[in-house]
Chain A
Amino acid sequence: MTQYLEFEKPLAEIEGKAEELRALARENDEMDVEKEAAALDKKADDLLKSLYADLTPWRKCQVARHQDRPHCQDYIDALFTEYTPLAGDRNFADDHAVMGGIARLDDKPVMVIGHEKGNDTKSRIERNFGMARPEGYRKAIRLMELADKFGLPVITLVDTPGAYPGKGAEERGQSEAIARSTEKCLELGVPLISVVIGEGGSGGAVAFATANKVAMLEHSIYSVISPEGCASILWKDAEKMREAAEALRLTAQDLNKLGVCDEIIKEPLGGAHRDRAATIEAVGKALTKMLGQLDGKSADKVRGDRRKKYLDLGSKGLAA
C-alpha cells in the first residue's frame, strides 16, 4: 500500500478507481475492465510524471520525510557486507538514533555511520525519530576516530529532522557534542563522503556531513531550520511553511548551485519510496564513484581539500 502524500491525492483517486475496477472484475467473470483500467493506469502514470516533474520545495520536504523512503538501515543491509555494528559513546549511553560500524563496500572496508528514523511506531520511538542526543554525536566521533586510526574511509548517511531538543540532551552538552563532531569531520585524514538520503536537519546534519563530497538524493533537503520553524519565527505563522521552504533554498538542486551539494543522485519516478531498490542501487553507485575519486590521496591532501572546500563555500551565491 502506497502512503499518498497530500499533493498526491488526485493520483490516489485514479489509482484507487483502477484498483476498484479490477477488484470488481475479479468477482465478476463476465466483466472486462482491463481496457478502462489500463486507461486509468496511463492517466495515473502521466499524472505522476507531471506531479514530480517540478516539485515545489515544500512538496520536496514532504517526499524527503516520506515514511516509506529507504532509511539508513536499508542502505546498510543492501549495499554493505560484513556490517558489524559498533555501539556506545563510552561515556553515558548508546544512542539508537545513530547507527554505525565497520563494513565492506565493494569488498573494501569502510566505516559507515548514519541517522536512523525507524519504520514503525515501535522502532521510531526506539530510534527517537532519528533525532540524536549528545551520545549519538559522541558515538560518531568515536567511530570516525577508529576509522582514521586504521585508514578506513568514512561514509555518513544523513537523515534527521535535527538534534533532539531535550532536557538531558542540553545538560549533557548537545552543542558541544555537535561542535566536536563537526571538528572531527574536518580533522579526518581519511576521505569522508556523505549522502543526504532524506532530511538534512540543521546542526544535527552538519555534524555528519562536513565531508569531502556531499551527495544528495534528488528529493532530499538540507536546511538551516525546518520550514515550519522558519515560518513561525519569520512569518510568525507556522502555516507559512510553503513560503519558508521556497525562501530557504533547501532543495538538492539549489544546494548544488550553491556548492554545498557536490552531486545529485536521481530518484525513481515518484520518489525514492516508490522504488526503494532502485534508489538504494543508485546511492551505491554514487558512493563507489565518489570513493574512487578520493582514492590514493594523502591524509594531508584529503584534509586540506576538505578545509579549502568549506573556506571557499558561499563565495558565489545562487546567481553564478
Chain B
Amino acid sequence: MNWITNYVRPTINSLFSRREVPENLWTKCDNCGTMLFHRELAENQNVCTNCDHHMPIGARDRLATLFDGGVFVEVAVPEPIADPLQFKDQKKYGDRIKDARKKTGEKDAMLVAEGEMGRTPVVVAVQDFSFMGGSMSMYVGNAIIAAAERAIETKRPLILFSAAGGARMQEGILGLMQMPRTTIAVQMLKDAGLPYIVVLTHPTTGGVTASYAMLGDVQIAEPNALIGFAGARVIEQTIGEKLPEGFQRAEYLLDHGMLDRVTKRTDLKDELVTIVRMLMKQPPAIKGDLPAPTADEAEKTEATAE
C-alpha cells in the first residue's frame, strides 16, 4: 500500500472510466458469460448473440420490435380504484406502487398497443415483469379487457405476451378475481371470431397461467421460459423429491403437449404475422422489417378493418 496505489491509480482510473467506458455499454450474458455490446444486444432483441439465451426485454422495447418501424399507438386502459384493500405488509401497497411507477415509468404491469405488424393490423398486450413482477392486478385485468374490446371494435387479432409471478397479493381477492375477468375477455374474442394468440415469456406462473395465458387459440413460448402453476420449491417440498432437469421450462411443456410451439424471439414477429394472417384469411405477408406505414397505407388498412 502506498501513495501510488491509494491515490494516483484510483484517480487515473476514475478519470478514464468517467470519460470513456460508461458501465452500461456492455452486458454480461447470464447464461454463457459473454460480454455483449449494448447496441448489438438490443439489435438482437436481448437474445445473446453467442448462446441464444433470451434475456428479459422491456415491454416498450418489445412493442417496438413487433410493430412496423416501431410505430404503435397505445390503447387507453380504464383506471381501477387505487389500493382497494388499503393493503399493508412491511410496506404500504400505495408506496410499492409509487416506487414501481418511478422505477419503470409505467402505470402498471400491462401495456396495450395497436398498430401494424408486417402490414397486418393487430392489437398487442405486453405484460411488464419489471412492474411488481408483472403481477395480475385490477389494472392488468382492465388492460386485457380493453385490449379485447379494442380488437373487437377494429376486427383485429389480439396477441398477448405474458410474464408474471401470478395474481397481485396486495389486491387480495380482487387480484384473484382477474382470473374470471380476463377469461371473459378471451370469450369476447371467441364470440367475435377473432384470433387470440398467447406468447408465454419468462416467467409465467400462478393465476396468470391458470387463466388468460393458457387460453390462447395458439400457444407459443420463448425458449427456456419458466411456465407453471405452482413454484418448483413448493412442489419439491410437497413431494419430497428433486424435480427433473428442465422441469416447467418451455421445451418441457412442449414435450408434454401443453404448447403449440417454442419460438426464438427473433423469429417471433414473422411467425405471428404468418399465423394471424392465415387465421384471418388474409393473403401472405411481406416478410422482414418494414418501415412505419405511410398515412395513405394506414388509411387503407383502417378501411379494410372496418
The residue in B167, B179, B212, B238 that gathers the most chain A C-beta atoms within 10 A of its C-beta is B179
A230 within 8 A of B: yes
Annotate A215-245 by CB proximity to B: 1 below 8 A, 0 otherwise.
Answer: 0000000111100001001110000000110
Closest B residue, CB atoms, query A131: B238
Chain A residues with CB under 8 A of B176: 202-203, 206, 223-224
Within 8 A of A (CB), among B220-257: 228-231, 234-235, 238-239, 241, 243-244, 247-248, 256-257
A234 to B212 alpha-carbon distance, docked (Å): 25
A202 to B229 alpha-carbon distance, docked (Å): 11
Closest B residue, CB atoms, query A315: B81
Q: Which segment, of B13-21, B98-106, B122-130, B183-191, faces chain A?
A: B183-191
B278 → chain A, closest Cβ, in Å? 24
Q: Which segment, of A5-13, A23-31, A164-172, faces chain B?
A: A164-172
- For the complex, would chain A's binding face be called helix, strand, loop or mixed by DSSP majority? helix
Contacts known (A176-B214, A203-B229, A315-B81); A186 close to B180, Cβ less than 8 A: yes
B10 within 8 A of A: no
Annotate B168-186 by CB proximity to A: 1 below 8 A, 0 otherwise.
Answer: 1111111111011101101
Closest B residue, CB atoms, query A165: B230
Report yes or no: A167 in contact with B183, Cβ–Cβ below 8 A. Answer: no
Chain B residues with CB under 8 A of A224: 167-169, 171-173, 175-176, 207
Q: Count of chain A residues with Cβ under 8 Å from any Cβ of B?
A: 53
Report yes or no: B84 in contact with A186, Cβ–Cβ below 8 A. Answer: no
Report yes or no: A186 in contact with B187, Cβ–Cβ below 8 A. Answer: yes
Report yes or no: A166 in contact with B183, Cβ–Cβ below 8 A. Answer: no
Report yes or no: B80 in contact with A183, Cβ–Cβ below 8 A. Answer: no
Chain A residues with CB under 8 A of B256: 171-173
Chain A residues with CB under 8 A of B257: 173
A313 within 8 A of B: yes
Report yes or no: B180 in contact with A206, Cβ–Cβ below 8 A. Answer: yes
Q: Which segment, of A74-82, A104-112, A248-256, faces chain B?
A: A248-256
A73 within 8 A of B: no
Contacts known (A175-B210, A182-B211); A318 close to B85, Cβ less than 8 A: yes
* A183 CB contact (under 8 Å) in B89, B177, B183: B183
The residue in A175, A180, A233, A249 that gathers the most chain B C-beta atoms within 10 A of its C-beta is A175
B88 within 8 A of A: yes
* B210 CB contact (under 8 Å) in A172, A179, A316: A179
Report yes or no: B235 in contact with A167, Cβ–Cβ below 8 A. Answer: yes
B132 → chain A, closest Cβ, in Å? 12
A310 within 8 A of B: yes
A264 → chain B, closest Cβ, in Å? 15
A179 to B204 alpha-carbon distance, docked (Å): 14
A276 within 8 A of B: no
Chain B residues with CB under 8 A of A166: 230, 235, 238-239
A315 to B181 alpha-carbon distance, docked (Å): 12
A187 to B188 alpha-carbon distance, docked (Å): 11
Report yes or no: A222 in contact with B173, Cβ–Cβ below 8 A. Answer: yes
B57 within 8 A of A: no
Annotate B85-112 by CB proximity to A: 1 below 8 A, 0 otherwise.
Answer: 1111110000000000000000000000
Known: A223-B173, A224-B173, A250-B173. 9 other contacts (CB 8 A): A167-B241, A174-B228, A202-B176, A210-B180, A255-B173, A310-B184, A314-B80, A314-B138, A317-B84
